[in-house]
Amino acid sequence: MRNFKLISLFCFTLLFARCTNAQNSKAMTEHSNNPYYSRTDTTPLHVSDAEWKKVLSPEVYKIAREKGTEYAFTGKYYKADTKGMYYCAACGNALFKSDAKFASSCGWPSFYESIRPTSVRYVSDNSHGMRRTEVLCGRCEAHLGHIFDDGPPPTGQRFCMNSAVLDFEPDQK
C-alpha cells in the first residue's frame, strides 16, 4: 500500500510538472515573435506603432496602441479567480497580483492596486465626454484601461482593465 501511495504521488508530481511546463511553453510560444516581451526586464520601451503592429495580435494592438476597449462582461479574466500574476500582453511587464483582484459589476477585471508604483502610469483622459484617468503600462505605455475612485479598501481604487491586454500566469503551487 505504501508503494502505491509513493507511485501515485510521483505520477501526480510528474503530471503537474508537465502541465506547468506546457503553460510556460505556451506563454513563450504566444510571444515568440515579439522581441520586446520580457517578464523580467522593466526598462521603458520606445517602440513605434508600426513596429508594435508587426508583433502584436490585432486584438491586442487595437486596445494597447489605439486605446480600444473590449465589450463589457466578455473578457477572459472578468470572472477569473485563480491565484497568480497578471502581465502586460504587449511587453510582459508585471502589473497586478490576483490578490488585488476583486469582483466588481463594471464588466471588466478589476484590481485595487498595481504590483509596484512603476508598473503603471496615469494620463488624464477627457474623451467621450467624460473626465477619467487612463492607465498605461509603465514599461511600454500600452493602454490597459482606466482607474476610478470607487474601489474597495485599502486603496479605494478600481483599476478597470481590458482582459485582452493582460497575460496571466497561475501560481506554481
pLDDT band at 61 (very low <50, low <70, confident <90, very high): very high
Could you read off the pLDDT of 125-166 as tens digits, one per residue?
999 899 999 999 999 999 999 999 999 999 999 999 999 999
Q: Are residues 104 and 68 in the same domain?
A: yes
Report the number of distinct structural domains present in the chain: 2
Rg (CA), the chain: 18
Domain encompassing residue 159: 36-170
Q: Are residues 2 and 68 in the same domain?
A: no
Could you read off the pLDDT of 80-135 as tens digits, one per residue?
999 999 999 999 999 999 999 999 989 999 999 999 999 999 999 999 899 999 99
Q: Are residues 40 and 26 in the same domain?
A: no
Q: How far apart are CA 15 and CA 137, in angstroms?
A: 35
Active site residue 88: no
Q: Are residues 90 and 150 in the same domain?
A: yes
Whether residue 4 is predicted with pLDDT greater than 70 in this model: the reply is: no
Q: Are residues 86 and 53 in the same domain?
A: yes
What cell does 89 get? 500582453
Q: Are residues 19 and 79 in the same domain?
A: no
Q: Is there a contact between 91 and 167 (Cβ–Cβ < 8 Å)? A: no
Indicate yes or no: pTM above 0.75.
yes
Q: How far apart are CA 134 and CA 72, in angstroms?
A: 17
Q: Find the catalytic residue in 88, 137, 140, 160.
A: 160
